[in-house]
Amino acid sequence: MGIVFRSVTKQYPNTASPAVDNVSLDIKEGEFIVFLGPSGCGKTTLLKMVNKLYDTTSGTIEIDGTDINQVQTEQLRRGIGYVIQQNGLFPHMTIEANIAVVPRLLKWDEAKIDKRIDELLDMVHLDPKVYRKRRPSQLSGGQQQRVGIARAMAAAPKILLMDEPFGAIDAITRTSLQDELHRIQRLLKKTILFVTHDVDEALRLADRIIVMQAGKVVQFATPFEILTNPANDFIRQLVGERDVYRKMAFLKVEDVISASGNAETAAGAEGVALTDDLKLVFNRMVEEQVREYPVVDGSNRRVGTVTMERILTKLAN
C-alpha cells in the first residue's frame, strides 16, 4: 500500500502558521519511513491526517491510488494500525481484551480471535500463558509498548502508524524493541510511518527518513544520504556530525565484518584489512561509490565482507 501526499497543509484554527505546510511525499509499499524532527514540527498532525483523525486543510492523501476522502472512515481505519504517542492501552481491560478490540469490532468469531491473540503475543515475545489475563498496570512499560504494537497489528493492517512508540522506554529495552519491530517489518512487509525525535532510532530503523522542521519537509532521503549529505545546517546539527566520524575512527573492520560475501566483489575490488579503521573504509566507499568491500587477511585471503549497511548499523548503536 503506497501512500502519496499531495501538497498537504494543516492549519489549526486561530494559529499564525500551518502545523503542516505544503507537504508532498511518495511513500512506497513496504517502506519503513521515519519522521524525524523537533517537538512541535508537525509529526503527529501529519500521521493523524492519514487515518482521518484530522482533516487536511488543503491537499490530498492517497493510499494505493485512492484519495482517502473517497473511503469511509471506518473502512479506512480497519486497514491502518495505529500506535499512539502514549501507549493508550485500556487500563481496565486485560491484555487479551485490549488486543481483541478491533477483531471484535470486525465481528471475528471468538475462536479466531483467541488464536490471533496467542499469535500476536508470541510475535512480540510475550508468553500468552503469562500475560493474557493481566492488566496493563501489571506489565512493565516496555511490555505495554509491545502489547500496543500487537494490538495495532491485530487485524493485519497493511499500514502501521507509530507515534513515538518507544518514547518512554529505557535505552536497552528500546534497542531490543527496535530490533523486534525491524524483524516484524521485514517478515510482514508492512508500510510503516514511524515518528520519533531520536536521531539514532531513525538511523537504525528507517529505509528512508523524512526530516521535518516547522511543518515543512526539509529532507526525504536514506539514512546514509542524511548522514553524508545533510540538506541544510539544521539537519547537519541534528545528526550532529553525529560523532559519527569520531566513532568511526575508533572502530575497525573486524567490528563489523560479516562472514557471507559475494565472491565476485572479492575478485574485482581491492580488499580492506581487518584492522583498517572504519573512517578510512567509509571514506573510500563514499569516494568510489560502492557499498561493500571484501575483507582480506595478511596473506590476502578473503575472510569476509564489510558493507555500508553494517557500518551504519554499528554507528547507530
Residues that bind ligand ATP (CB under 6 A): 12, 15, 19, 39-45, 197
CB of 45 to ligand ATP, least distance (A): 3
> What is the end-to-end Cα distance of the chain in Å, rounded?
30
Q: Kindly tell me which of 43 and 146 has the beta carbon lying closer to ligand ATP.
A: 43
CB of 54 to ligand ATP, least distance (A): 8
CB of 282 to ligand ATP, least distance (A): 31
Q: Is residue 44 part of the contact set for Mg ion (CB under 5 A)? A: yes
User: Is residue 37 classed as helix, strand or coil in its secondary structure?
Assistant: coil
Stretch that binds Mg ion, among 40-48, 88-96, 141-149, 309-317 (CB under 5 A): 40-48
CA distances from 209 to 1, 38, 227, 237 (A): 18, 14, 11, 16
Q: Is residue 307 part of the contact set for Mg ion (CB under 5 A)? A: no
Distance CA 180, CA 175 (A): 9
Q: Kindly tell me which of 198 and 255 has the beta carbon lying closer to ligand ATP.
A: 198
Q: Is residue 196 part of the contact set for Mg ion (CB under 5 A)? A: no
CA distances from 210 to 4, 94, 224 (A): 14, 36, 13
Stretch that binds Mg ion, among 36-44, 96-104, 257-265, 292-300 (CB under 5 A): 36-44
Q: Kindly tell me which of 11 and 313 has the beta carbon lying closer to Mg ion.
A: 11
Strands in 272-273's sheet, in edge-to-edge order, are 272-273, 292-296, 302-307
Alpha helices in 162-277 (DSSP H): 171-188, 199-205, 223-228, 233-238, 244-250, 263-268
Closest CB to Mg ion: residue number:
44
Given Mg ion, ligand ATP, none, residue 216, with its beta carbon under 5 to 8 Å by kind, binds: none
Between CA 77 and CA 83, with CA 82 as vertex, the angle to 5 degrees is 165
CB of 212 to Mg ion, least distance (A): 11
Closest CA to 315 of 225, 223, 232: 223
Q: Is residue 45 part of the contact set for Mg ion (CB under 5 A)? A: no
CB of 130 to ligand ATP, least distance (A): 33
Between CA 67 and CA 72, with CA 68 as vertex, the angle to 5 degrees is 130
Q: Is residue 51 part of the contact set for Mg ion (CB under 5 A)? A: no
Q: Is residue 143 part of the contact set for Mg ion (CB under 5 A)? A: no
- Contact set with Mg ion (CB under 5 A): 44
